[in-house]
Structure formats: C-alpha cells, structure tokens
Structure 1
Amino acid sequence: MREGTGDGMSRVGIRELAAELGMSISTVSRAMNSRGEVSAATRERVRSAAERLGYQPNQSGRTLRRGATGTVALVMQTNTARTEMGETFYFAVCDGLQQVLATRSMDLVLLPVGPAKDPYRYLVNAVDRHIADAYVISNTHREDARVALLTERGVPFVALGRGGPAGHAWLDLDFEGVAAGSVARLAAAGHTRIALACDDGDVNSTWEYARGYRRALAEHGLTPAAEIRLPDAPGSGEVLADRLLAMSPAPTAVVLAQETLALGLYRRLGEVGVRPGADLAVVGFRKNPVCDYLVPSLTSFAVSLDAYGRRLGEIVLDRVADADAPVQEVWPMTLAPGESDTAPPRVSERLS
C-alpha cells in the first residue's frame, strides 16, 4: 500500500520497494543504511530502485540514499551541580552549532552522559546504533579512548577540546593563553606569590591551563606559590579559600581554571573578613553570566559562545565532507577586566 503525502501524491514505502526488488524488508533497510553485511552490488541495486520509484523514508532528517541520518550528535557529560547554578555553556554553543548545521539540512541531537555512566561505553553504543553521521565529543582527556574509537571506526567527529591520540579535528578554547595572560597581568602589578586552582581530574583543559600558568611564571622569573586541585563539585570554592588561608606565606593572588570557584571563594573569604580584590587578587577563566553579580566584579576572559558554536559547526561539516586535513584550532579569548585583581600586592599581604 502506498502512503499519502498530503499533496495528492502517493509515496512509495519500504514494503513496496522490497516487493519491487523481491527482497526482504530487512535486506532493503540494511542496504539503504550501507551495512557491511550487504554486498556492494545489492546496495547499488536497492538505491537505484529507490531513486527510480521515488522512495522517501518516513524518519525526519534521514537521507537513506546516502545511508545517512542527517544528524550530528553532541556527546556532553552532565554535571548536576553546574546545571543548578545556571551554567549554560553547552546550550550557548549549541545555538551557533545548530545554525550552521541547518544550512545543510542537518539536525543536532544532544546525548547527555550522566556521572554514573562510562563515556566510552556510552559512545560505543551510540556508534553501534548508527545514531548520527558525525559526533562532537566534549570533556576530552589527555589520552582519550573515544578518539581512537571514532578514528578506527571511520566515523567523522570533532573534539571540543584537545586530547590524544593526535591527528584528529578539534576546536578548543585558549586555556593555555588565558592562564599565561592572567599570570602576566598579575606579575605586572607586582604579584610574586600567585597560586593556581583547577580541577583534579584528567580533563585536558586543566593540563593546558596549568601549562600556561607555569610557562608565564617562568617567563617572569617566578615559581608556583601553590597548585591546588579540587573536585568539580559544590563546596570546592570554600575548600579553596580554606587552603589559601592556611598557607604561610599566603599567596597574594590566585588564578582560577574554573571561574565558578569564585562563588564559594568569595563567600568563605567574606566570612573571615578577607576582601577579594583588596586582600587577595582573583582572576577567573571565562566571563560567565553565573559570576556577573559577584562584588567586586571578577576579572576574566570573554568569548562569544555563539561564534564558537558556529565555527564548531563549520568544522563538523568539513569532517562530514571528508576533507583531507583535519582542522585543529585554538579559539582566542579577550580580557574582560573587573575589580578583583586591582589591589597592589602590598595590600594583599593582609592575607598572611
């Protein structure tokens, strides 16, 4: 039976296509999806018949003549604590990403990976089920098995963040440059005891940020005052404050690889009468709306996440088109001065 299309025309369904070819529905489906168990000759015969009969799939966005889904999947690891704080990083990036994909009639789907799930196994299942034509993976690690998986399977992908092994497409914020710029700004103001606070995991962005921090200190003839690694969890900002307060001699400044640490840091410092910006200079990573109401305003670095997302979309389409040279690009960020690092270090000595 032919299905109506709503415009007076009838549409050939997969049953009619299978009957025309004298094949089973499952064989036709596998052929249209380029499954390896169907011979090349059978795939070509099925596709030719589909074109001749005007076969169109029911699934929105599927282009079965190419064996494609018309979909790009963003695999994102969820963090309940950040979501409850109003963190919108991925959603802002998705706006720009989706705009670019739409120019090629491609859809974006989000695949959230909860804390209890193994990101690698989750991705294996998604690839095995042919959920998408291409993937964007986030929270990349220095040695990331997902990169090897997608490379070996021949699946187009872009990593949102650098991570090994090398040779694949990635787009990353300038973590190293921001850290180096933060240290240089503080050193120029006279600070010599500059601490680092960052995530305690193996996410590659943490390593890039720490590398920029150490490089800039060395360029200014300084040594690290402290490298404090903390879990990405509620209360870490308060823990950071406690550890800074307990040090002797205490740092006069701290740079934050995760700007939301400033929320708890400010709160705990205020409880003991230490003033951010006056008694301790603080520089955050990204200008984040979550931190907009901190007093004093947090010095950080701005980035247009919409533009970042659009560039990500361009690189994804580049991979779908099977371009030879994968794009590897560091996305610049711009200093957004606040009032959290304006005090000279002689005032900040009050922390000691």
Structure 2
Amino acid sequence: MKGKAAKQATLLDVAQKAGVSRATASLVVRKSPLVSETTRAIVEEAMEELGYVYNLSAARLRAARSRTVGAIVPNLTNPFFSIMLSGMESVLEAAGLVVILANSSEDTHKQAAFIRRMREHAVDGLIICPAKGTTTEQIRNIQDWNLPVVQALRVVADTRTDYSGIDYRGGMAAATHRLIALGHRQIGFVSIEGHHSAEAARLEGFRSALAENGLAPAFIVECETNSQAARALAPALLRLPNPASAIACFNDVIGLGLHRGLVDLGVRIGKEVSLFGFDDVPEADLVSPGLSSVSTDPHGVGERAARLLLRRIAEPDTPAEAVIAPTSIVERPSIGPAASLTTSGRRD
C-alpha cells in the first residue's frame, strides 16, 4: 500500500480498485448525493487503502469556467429555431458567454456525438431541444456528468431538468376552437413523422377541442417536417373520402408548404379550405393569403432558456424549474367561414 501511495494514486486507480467508473469515483470525492451509500463506502475504502489524496488545487483549476455554452437544435432549416437561438445569444452574450451551436438533424447519434464534443471542450452548460427518440438515459447521463442542462421546446419523459417551453396544448386547442367557431365541422390535422412531447401536446389540444364540441377529426396524417413534403401532400388530402373544410398544421413549415400546394391546385385558401399554422414565423405574413398561426414567441423561449441555464450554472443545487409560455392566435385571411363540400371532396 505504501508503494501505491508513493506513486500518488490517481482517481482512476481508485475507480479500478473499487470496481466503479472514474465518473462514479469523482462523484464520491465531491460528496455528490447521486451515489448510493454502499458504493460510497466501497470507494472510500479504496481511497484509504491506496492513500489517495484529493488535490484541491487541481480541482479548482479544473473548475475554471470556459465561458462557452453548447446549444443543440434539431432543425436549423426551420426559421423558428433561428429566432430562438437569437434569443439565447442575446442573454448569454450579455453575460460574457459564447454559444457553440450544433444541428442534430433529428438524429440521436449525431446529437450524442455533439454532446460528447461539447463536454470535451468543457462547456459551462448545455441547452438542448432533444431530437426525436432521445431517451431518458441520455438526458440523465448529462446530469450525471454534472453538466448544467436546460431542455427547450421539448422535454424527455421521466427527466427532471430546467425547461423552457410553450403551452402547445392550449395553443392548438385555441386554434381548433376558432375554426369550430367559424362553422367548420370537418377539421383535419397534419402532424409530423416521429413523436416527441411537443407533437403529443399539439395533438392532444386538437383532439380535446374537437371532443368538447362533439366532433371527431376528419383526418390525422403525418408528413416530413419540410415545406416540400407538405406541398406534395396537398393533392392526397383533397382526394380523401372524408375531406376537410379546415386543416390545422403542426407548425408553419408544414402550413406554408401545404399553402403552396393548395394554391397550385387552384384552391382558394380561406374560402374553400381554411388553413392554420403554428409558431407564427415571419414568412406566415408574407404569403397570400396570409397564414393564420399560433404565436409562440421563439425569441422569448430562447431568452428564458438562457436565463435558466445561467441560474443553474450559478446555483447548481437549485430545484429544477419549468417555464411554460402562453400562446396567442394571429388571425390572417387563410381562415374563414366553412365552405360547402361535395361528395367528391371538391369545393363548390
């Protein structure tokens, strides 16, 4: 044992002797409550046997902040995320931090690689909009590394982190109620391929508003999250045996693509078919007729996510907080009173 001590036993030596990972041994020396008492006792016994001494000076040096923050989003082609990122940067830059940005493209493997790289670069914290399919374990791993993390827009089930989100359910329910108030009884929903918390909440809002009025969806179809796929979907929607006089869309990317697809077919949007988007990106006001949408203030979502992260970095033991922003309806000419439908699905 003296020989080991003379060689200045490392934390890795301790971990190997105790039969645990280096990360677990590190949690023990830092008195983390995440370690069970049994594991703590085994590691502490290994430390004593090896004569391991915690180097406080080195620990302080390692604790020096990098003044960088990681941000991972799933789709930078969606203008919503660009606006949200500008909100993050406005807060973080004011605090003297630089943002390292990554686009996961809804790929959990790419996302995991980005997280590892950001950890290697010793970012002070991470803001992540989880890609579709992100598991509970993946988020908990980030927390086990003691890396401050905030989930934005989407939250993975059974995780407990700070969260900056939107009242998706209430927003979609309000849009659906507005269509019902205009006399629409055949209302369809175009969702996305793949599922996450934001998709589930929107769909729940849509279904609940219909159910409150004794209605059922005319259809619920899924679409790739890009405007080209939504544009190509338009003919199929008009050929459905149960055509809709109004269509609610998961977001404005799908709404704007479908808008173009219907215009290509000569459909008078707002008169023959009403169309509702979600997010109220600037482009929604540039098409003709303008696309009605649910405003979600992505810049504010980014600002709040950044503030939550700054608080988490400064106060790591503070209880997790969820900030859910309300939505509002922005009504434009893409919606109007219900039009009559023929049995063929074409408008009179």
Report if aligned partners of 1:142, 1:164 keep a CA contact under 8 Å in 2: no
For residue 8 of structure 2, what is the aligned residue in structure 1?
Answer: none
Report if aligned partners of 2:301, 2:325 keep a CA contact under 8 Å in 1: yes
For residue 331 of structure 2, what is the aligned residue in structure 1?
Answer: 337
For residue 18 of structure 2, what is the aligned residue in structure 1?
Answer: none
User: How many residue pairs were aligned?
Assistant: 302
Over 3 Å counting, the alpha-carbon distance change for 1:272 and 1:205 in structure 2 is same
Unpaired stretches in structure 2, ≥5 consecutive residues: 1-10, 12-22, 31-52
For residue 144 of structure 2, what is the aligned residue in structure 1?
Answer: 152
Report if aligned partners of 2:148, 2:312 keep a CA contact under 8 Å in 1: yes
For residue 243 of structure 2, what is the aligned residue in structure 1?
Answer: 250
Q: Quick check: 1:267 aligned with 2:260?
A: yes
Report if aligned partners of 2:252, 2:281 keep a CA contact under 8 Å in 1: yes
Q: Which residue type is aligned with residue 66 of structure 2?
A: T
Report if aligned partners of 2:284, 2:292 keep a CA contact under 8 Å in 1: no
Shift in Å at residue 313 of structure 1?
1.2
Q: Which residue type is aligned with residue 342 of structure 1?
A: G
Whole-angstrom CA distance in 1 between matches of 2:233 and 2:105: 26
Over 3 Å counting, the alpha-carbon distance change for 1:267 and 1:90 in structure 2 is closer
Q: Counterparts in 2 of 1:320-335, with a 5 A limit?
A: 320=313, 321-335=315-329
Shift in Å at residue 335 of structure 1?
1.0
Whole-angstrom CA distance in 1 between matches of 2:131 and 2:186: 31
Q: Which residue type is aligned with residue 273 of structure 1?
A: G
Shift in Å at residue 127 of structure 1?
5.4
Q: Counterparts in 2 of 1:120-139, with a 5 A limit?
A: 120-126=111-117, 128-139=119-130
For residue 190 of structure 1, what is the aligned residue in structure 2?
Answer: 183
For residue 66 of structure 1, what is the aligned residue in structure 2?
Answer: 63
Unpaired stretches in structure 1, ≥5 consecutive residues: 1-26, 28-33, 49-63
Report if aligned partners of 2:73, 2:104 keep a CA contact under 8 Å in 1: yes
Whole-angstrom CA distance in 2 between matches of 1:115 and 1:228: 20
TM-score (norm 2): 0.76
For residue 46 of structure 2, what is the aligned residue in structure 1?
Answer: none
Whole-angstrom CA distance in 1 between matches of 2:218 and 2:75: 32
Partner secondary structure for residue 351 of structure 1: coil
Whole-angstrom CA distance in 2 between matches of 1:252 and 1:306: 33
Partner secondary structure for residue 235 of structure 1: helix
For residue 55 of structure 2, what is the aligned residue in structure 1?
Answer: 43
Shift in Å at residue 223 of structure 1?
0.6
Report if aligned partners of 1:174, 1:332 keep a CA contact under 8 Å in 2: yes
Partner secondary structure for residue 282 of structure 1: strand
For residue 351 of structure 1, what is the aligned residue in structure 2?
Answer: 347
Report if aligned partners of 1:113, 1:122 keep a CA contact under 8 Å in 2: no
For residue 289 of structure 2, what is the aligned residue in structure 1?
Answer: 296
For residue 73 of structure 2, what is the aligned residue in structure 1?
Answer: 76
Identity of aligned residues (%): 21
Q: Counterparts in 2 of 1:215-234, with a 5 A limit?
A: 215-234=208-227
Match of 1:95 among 86, 90, 93: 86
| CA offsets 1:194-246 (integer angstroms, 9 cap, x no match) | 10001111232111111111111111111111001011235222233122111
Over 3 Å counting, the alpha-carbon distance change for 1:115 and 1:209 in structure 2 is closer
Q: Which moved more, 1:149-158 or 1:178-187?
A: 149-158
Partner secondary structure for residue 165 of structure 2: strand
Partner secondary structure for residue 277 of structure 2: strand
Q: How much is the aligned-residue C-alpha RMSD, in angstroms?
A: 3.2
Report if aligned partners of 2:276, 2:291 keep a CA contact under 8 Å in 1: yes
Whole-angstrom CA distance in 1 between matches of 2:158 and 2:90: 30
| CA offsets 1:263-309 (integer angstroms, 9 cap, x no match) | 33233322332211110011110111223221111111223333222
Whole-angstrom CA distance in 2 between matches of 1:142 and 1:124: 15
| CA offsets 1:144-199 (integer angstroms, 9 cap, x no match) | 34312213333210111222223222111222111111110011111111100011
Q: Which residue type is aligned with residue 109 of structure 1?
A: I
TM-score (norm 1): 0.75
